[in-house]
Structure 1
Amino acid sequence: MHTESLVKDLASSDTGVAKEAMSKADELIGNQKLKYDKSSINKSTTSSQYNDNPQQSIDQEAFCRSLQLDAEERSERRKKREEIANRHKDQGNKYFREGQFDLAIAEYTKAIETAKHITVYYTNRAQAYVKLKDWDSCIADCDMALRIDEKFLKAYVHYSKALIQQAKYDEADKILNTAVEKTKRNKIIQDYKTLNEIARQGKTEENEAITASTNESQEYELIKTLIGKCNDSTTEENDIVVALDTLGLQLGGAGLKQAYYRVCGGWEIIHKNSFIARLWKESTVNKTQVNLITAMIRMMTAAIENNDRNLQILLEDCKFLEMATKWINCDIEEVVTHVMIIIALLVKGSNRCQWILFNKLQEQPRFLQCLTNISCMNRRLARVTLDIIKSLQEQERFRIICRESINKYMVDPLCSALGDAKKLKNLKTEDIAYYSSLSEILLLIAIDDWFRERLAKQTVLWLGIGHLLNIAAKAPKNVENLLHAMLGLMLNLCAQASENAAIQNFSNDFLPSLVNILTTKNEDIFERLTRCIARLIGFCTKKSWSLDLLPKICPAILVNRGRPVTLKALSTCLAYCTKNDQKAAIEFLLDFKDLVTIFTMMINSDDDSIVGNSSLACSHIIGQAKISQLFIGSDIVADLLRIVDSSRKNVTRKNAGIALAKLSQSDARHLERLRDLHGVEILHSVLDSFGKI
């Protein structure tokens, strides 16, 4: 049989023909095992096996070549099919984004018919079925996707959504538990388990509400009557406002009232009431609608408070964020304030509430964009909007889920707003509150390492900080809240100062203002100040700052002996000051009466960093004869020797060794004390190991 004919028969849909061809192929190639991987054949053979029959060897090689060509052709055809299928998928995605779900399904179906083995086509179509509430079709597609790939997370997600909508909560749990087992994506799946629990709890509440209706509950009847009045097309607008406010009062407190609201069709008010429906449809808001909007928001606030199911309906079915975006853009303070109240309730709600809200904010980032723009450009409304932004940023979940939106819509406007401070000549009360809030928000954003690096490179941000510091230095008592927030931001951004040219360039400008503010009596601010100075001081190129800084940090060392974080920063400053201008430092320290006390205290600290910094500072000045004489009678030699002999850090041992050597050389009495302690050999050995002798 010709090999071409044999290959054709092998691919036959007739199982009898294919089976016979397979038998002949086995006979042709004997027991040789062909190894293949989808589109290529391993043609390596042992030629010695066929030396007795050259014709058989030729037929076998031809057969292998034919199989190889067939595999390549099939691979090419498959590739072309997938390209066509992907075009259908992309078109389906376009229709999906436009809300044309029927057309999207048609395109996904074409993709599936063209390439049945690709799972994403099934889950895309399943997602479109979700939008059309065709739960059975969604489940069928997810089931098919999981048959192809049992680890495909999206299939489990859409599967569970459909089951939840069918009130099959136990089945949804089973699907999600299987998802955890197969995909190991427990954290993501837990969120969908949360949705299942919200739906289960909501259904239980609704069943209890229905029972109450049959028992003629007065609360139930009143809520039903008020909702009916709101849905009545003949009700006047002013009467609707009254009914909404009354309904909001009724919904407050614990109990089944919020479930009554759902069962009685409360959420249908948005569509059935012509006045309210207009609010949802129109693109602008006018002042005549303020009473209706605020009454509606008050009622919705009461409906969602401590009720996750109502919150879910508000965000998902009522598309509240789309409305809220329009309302906060209206520039009407009363409306914006009411929107912020309900958003604050959402932000501070349960973990389940937050997860739903944050995902919706990521899906609809325009709300965050508008919120940020108002905060930066409308100082009158910023009072309420900045509080919400801060509340959002305080939630780690928000920063994770909405990271992309924060980067795209919030970082640059907030930095520019703080940079605008450079236009100010003095700070009013409202300015202090505004720039404090901005600094706190940027500090929360900078918790993320990637954002910290980006913020640290914003020149406009540093210009604003520098100008605010200059103003604050003139009257630090009046701006303590601002200083606390701004110094916290600086500390965070300066964590990567060694890698950031922008920070280094501004060090000379910042340091004088920071030094002037050291007069503050606020301990928290003083601590942040010293830590900022300690991080920036190494990049300053001017020597004059040492003369201003030393008189402030030396007395502060005594005052802050019980505050190790502050003391650590002060010891860093002392080391830099004594190195930067040794002559000026020595002149000041000769007149500082507590010189011996502060050095003795720091050298005997339990903190290795303080010991290391103070040893380094000591090595800068102790070689001067007059300074070394001041230490006669103290235990400085014994203290330094102990550090040289036992410190865990080599750099600390080295610094202490240099200080001890200079001290011994500057005054014979210190050398004699070192000999009495049998420390000469120890010192010599340590310095020799560091190459200092």
Structure 2
Amino acid sequence: MCFFVFMVTCVLQNADEISSEAFLASVEKDAKERAKRRRENKVLADALKEKGNEAFGKGDYETAISCYSEGLEKLKDMKVLYTNRAQAYIKLGDYRKALTDCDWALKCDEKCTKAYFHMGKAHLALKNYSESRECYQKILEINPQLQTQVKGYLNQVDLREKADLQEKEAQDLLDSGKDTAVTTKNLLETLSKPDQIPLFYAGGIEILTEMMKDCAERTLFRTHNGFSIISDNEVIRRCLSTAGKDAVEETVCVSVLRLWQAVCSENEENQRLLVMHPTRGQLLPALLASRVPTIQEQSLALLLQLAQTENGRGLIISHLDLTRLLEALVSFLDFSEKKANSAMALLTDLALEERFHVWFQANLPGALPALAAVLKRDPRVTSTSALCQCIAILGNLSAEPAARRQLFASEEFGDACLGLMAKCEEDMDLFREVMYTLLGLMMNLCLQPSLVSEVWAVEVSRKCLSLLNSQDGGILTRAAGVLSRTLSSSLTIVEEALRAGVVKKMIKFLKAGGQTASRYAIKILAICTNSYHEAREEVIRLDKKLSVLMQLLGSEDEILVGNAALCLGNCMEVPLVASSLLTTDIVRVLLRLAGGDAQKTAVQLNAGIALGKLCTAEPRCVGRGSPQAAAREGTRLWDRALSRHQGPSSLCSSTISSSCSSSLTLPRHLPFSLPPSSLLCFSRNRETLCFTFLPGAEVLGECPLRKQARWGGGTMMKRSRPARREPVLELGAWPLSAQTPCRSGPA
């Protein structure tokens, strides 16, 4: 009996084990099948999404909704299908369904910013202003980097809420029987009559314009379809679109433009409806380009009014044909000074907007002919102030690297700059302001020397060398600025500059002081002394004991310091110069700069270069005071510098001019504690001997070639001298705005 029970128990246990294994296998199989089905459904859902997106792009929102819905049947947790369908519902005005889809998208992903965006739009359309703001604020909480976009969305909510309040107040006035409100409504009904003579509409519009004194009347114009009544009227539309207008058509156009000015005054919602209408994106620039003076004036006045506010400028940039608008505004340079200045004021307002910069870079090829035409104008017959303002705008726009590349790609634009310079040179007293502003533009154009062609740079440099004879301080400074950015493009022009006495003039700049002028002057001297021994000798002759250059080493401007150190190092190659500095503290100053006091690595490099040349030319500079103290100071500064840098990049390098043979005995007491990994390179005659701390050093302005060498009088490997040695260019230079333009109205 016991045996039987035992056997039954074993059988049951085996059955349980088999059942458990089968169950696990079944679960695993089911999971694999579900994963496979999900992958297949994902492919189908993606295809339906693309099909829906294609329909959405064509404006077929019903089909798009159908595709998105079918995709959701395949994959119910695909959030992008919910947000896409919500967007399609918004296009159809079904805001409740859009909100439902946004809720489902948030259930799939609680941080879905696109869902909050569409939810905010739907609430705004339903006039749920508080809920709309909450949605947009939620986007900012999820992604703070979207602050600019969220600010725009919240501004839209504020404007729509303000417009809603205005409409309620206007309706209350109309219901109360206020005369102006009732008259406005009646006039709009009268103007809606079709097929009247043009003067009938012109007269009615003028009366209506007189009624637009208060916010209520302007709001009633909007709520009673005033914009549609004007735009949809066949007679009025024909008058607006006719190219060659007779007196009657001119009267209608002028009356409409004045009405638009009146209804858009201090009314953002009316501005939005006016500019966002599909046909007016082309119409307003076309009216501005009209040959009829009164239409031009009223069109310009309307656009200036819109540009008074950030919202209005955004509407112009987003919805008008900017290429055509730019061409029309530039054409105003042919008119009276008052008109030209007003047009440039409008262009300035737009050009200060970031969105305009984005458009400009994307559409520059189409705008280039108009821009080149500005520079080709004869300054004798163009308003000087307007021309300067237009060139200043170009200067500000060219501060963007992408814009500079495209401008330099146009040979026509570069030639136009040279042509205008030549015209201004004919009478510098008369065209001083034009030349000054043009030099500002050219300074920005030359910010990236790699973009500048050598032929163009040589021509510009020659003209700037001529301008250095001017008695005008502003012209002198900007001419030096341009020259500092073009001079290094050709050794030929450096030779011409030396013959023209550029070293003497730049030393005068430095002695006169002024940070901007000094920055340009020291860079020019760095270029000249880096290329020609004669330039070094002239600097030493004009700057006794190099006092001016040494003074620059104490400047807070590291661009000045870096180029001054490079210039000093170059001058150390002149015999006996280093000896004249024995009584100065130049060693300590250069030590501190090379050891880490300077923030920029390039400044440290050039200070080390100058220090190495100085110590080799005059070994007594090393032994001044206590050698042990010098070694301790060098070690301290070296350790400090190491703590500021990580990795194998160099902190400082020294380049020494030498005419010795292939072995060299260095001073016993160097001002540095050299680490074991020091590397030494050497070459003969007037070529370069370079020792570099830590492998991988990169010396701005010296282009060293590193070779293996043994420290302590061993054999060293040679290198050929580079064809030319570049100076430190303007470290961290920023674009110089040609002129700071003023807005035509409040920001």
TM-score normalized by structure 2?
0.69
CA–CA separation in structure 2 for the residues paired with 1:584 and 1:183: 57
1:638 alignment partner, SS class: coil
Letter in 1 for 2:352: E
Among candidates 488, 510, 516, match of residue 466 of structure 2: 516
Among candidates 506, 513, 522, match of residue 571 of structure 1: 522
Matched-pair contact (CA < 8 Å) for 1:241–1:291:
yes
- 1:393 CA displacement: 1.8
My pick for the range that moved more, 377-386 or 212-221, is 377-386
Among candidates 670, 673, 684, match of residue 685 of structure 1: 670
What's 2:275 paired with? 315
Among candidates 91, 96, 106, match of residue 55 of structure 2: 91
My pick for the range that moved more, 570-579 or 460-469, is 460-469
What's 1:190 paired with? 151
Per-residue Cα deviation, 1:404-441 (whole angstroms, up to 9, x for no partner): x43332x12444445568978x6434286676455433
CA–CA separation in structure 2 for the residues paired with 1:216 and 1:579: 85
2:236 alignment partner, SS class: helix
What's 2:263 paired with? 303
Matched-pair contact (CA < 8 Å) for 1:223–1:261:
yes
1:546 alignment partner, SS class: helix
What's 1:495 paired with? 447
Per-residue Cα deviation, 1:460-485 (whole angstroms, up to 9, x for no partner): 43333334334444544433333343
- Cα gap change, 1:506 to 1:260, in 2 (>3 Å): same
- Cα gap change, 1:654 to 1:127, in 2 (>3 Å): closer
Alignment gaps of 5+ in structure 1:
1-48, 362-366, 666-670
What's 2:203 paired with? 242
- 1:277 CA displacement: 4.7
Matched-pair contact (CA < 8 Å) for 1:418–1:465:
no
Matched-pair contact (CA < 8 Å) for 2:45–2:72:
no
What's 2:418 paired with? 466
Among candidates 590, 612, 626, match of residue 644 of structure 1: 590
Matched-pair contact (CA < 8 Å) for 1:163–1:172:
yes
What's 1:554 paired with? 507
The answer to whether structure 1 residue 528 and structure 2 residue 478 are counterparts is: yes
CA–CA separation in structure 1 for the residues paired with 2:475 and 2:142: 52
Matched-pair contact (CA < 8 Å) for 1:285–1:327:
no
Letter in 1 for 2:589: I
CA–CA separation in structure 1 for the residues paired with 2:539 and 2:224: 81
- Cα gap change, 1:274 to 1:579, in 2 (>3 Å): closer
Q: Report the aligned-residue RMSD.
A: 4.4
What's 1:395 paired with? 353
CA–CA separation in structure 2 for the residues paired with 1:615 and 1:183: 46
The answer to whether structure 1 residue 343 and structure 2 residue 303 are counterparts is: yes
Letter in 1 for 2:304: A
CA–CA separation in structure 1 for the residues paired with 2:224 and 2:153: 27
CA–CA separation in structure 2 for the residues paired with 1:110 and 1:325: 45
The answer to whether structure 1 residue 412 and structure 2 residue 360 are counterparts is: no
Among candidates 362, 371, 387, match of residue 325 of structure 2: 371
1:686 alignment partner, SS class: coil
What's 1:72 paired with? 36
> How many residues are treated as equivalent by the alignment?
612
- 1:110 CA displacement: 5.2
Matched-pair contact (CA < 8 Å) for 2:55–2:61:
no
CA–CA separation in structure 1 for the residues paired with 2:467 and 2:383: 19
- 1:69 CA displacement: 4.3
My pick for the range that moved more, 197-206 or 125-134, is 125-134
Matched-pair contact (CA < 8 Å) for 1:658–1:687:
no
Letter in 2 for 1:348: Q
CA–CA separation in structure 1 for the residues paired with 2:110 and 2:328: 47
Among candidates 170, 173, 180, match of residue 130 of structure 2: 170
Matched-pair contact (CA < 8 Å) for 1:418–1:438:
no
CA–CA separation in structure 2 for the residues paired with 1:82 and 1:675: 78
Matched-pair contact (CA < 8 Å) for 2:591–2:608:
no
CA–CA separation in structure 2 for the residues paired with 1:181 and 1:50: 59
2:111 alignment partner, SS class: coil
What's 1:205 paired with? 166
Q: Identity over aligned residues, as a percent?
A: 17
Per-residue Cα deviation, 1:319-370 (whole angstroms, up to 9, x for no partner): 5324325545655554344333323322331x34444444435xxxxx0232
CA–CA separation in structure 1 for the residues paired with 2:374 and 2:576: 48
Matched-pair contact (CA < 8 Å) for 2:536–2:570:
no
- 1:567 CA displacement: 1.0
Map 1:318-329 → 2, pairs under 5 A: 320-328=280-288
Matched-pair contact (CA < 8 Å) for 2:327–2:370:
no
- Cα gap change, 1:103 to 1:614, in 2 (>3 Å): closer
Alignment gaps of 5+ in structure 2:
1-12, 599-603, 631-666, 675-689, 693-711, 713-747
Letter in 2 for 1:240: Y
Matched-pair contact (CA < 8 Å) for 1:558–1:598:
yes
CA–CA separation in structure 2 for the residues paired with 1:58 and 1:111: 35
CA–CA separation in structure 2 for the residues paired with 1:51 and 1:475: 110
- 1:581 CA displacement: 2.9
- 1:141 CA displacement: 3.9
- Cα gap change, 1:50 to 1:491, in 2 (>3 Å): farther
What's 2:731 paired with? none
Letter in 1 for 2:251: N
2:415 alignment partner, SS class: helix
Matched-pair contact (CA < 8 Å) for 2:457–2:486:
yes
What's 2:532 paired with? 581
- Cα gap change, 1:297 to 1:421, in 2 (>3 Å): closer
- Cα gap change, 1:397 to 1:74, in 2 (>3 Å): closer
CA–CA separation in structure 2 for the residues paired with 1:569 and 1:50: 94
CA–CA separation in structure 1 for the residues paired with 2:278 and 2:394: 32
Matched-pair contact (CA < 8 Å) for 2:258–2:298:
yes
My pick for the range that moved more, 377-386 or 134-143, is 377-386
- 1:300 CA displacement: 1.0
CA–CA separation in structure 2 for the residues paired with 1:588 and 1:74: 78
With a CA cutoff of 8 Å and minimum separation of 6, indicate the structure with the bigger relative contact order. Answer: 2
TM-score normalized by structure 1?
0.74
Matched-pair contact (CA < 8 Å) for 1:224–1:264:
yes
Letter in 1 for 2:532: D
- 1:448 CA displacement: 3.8
CA–CA separation in structure 2 for the residues paired with 1:228 and 1:182: 50
Matched-pair contact (CA < 8 Å) for 2:439–2:479:
yes
Map 1:91-490 → 2, pairs under 5 A: 91-94=55-58, 96=59, 101=61, 105=65, 116-182=76-142, 185-233=146-194, 236-252=197-213, 256-263=216-223, 265-271=225-231, 273-278=233-238, 286-287=245-246, 289-316=249-276, 320-328=280-288, 332=292, 334-349=294-309, 351-360=310-319, 367-374=321-328, 380=334, 383=340, 387-399=345-357, 403=358, 405-409=359-363, 411-419=364-372, 427-430=379-382, 436=388, 439-490=391-442
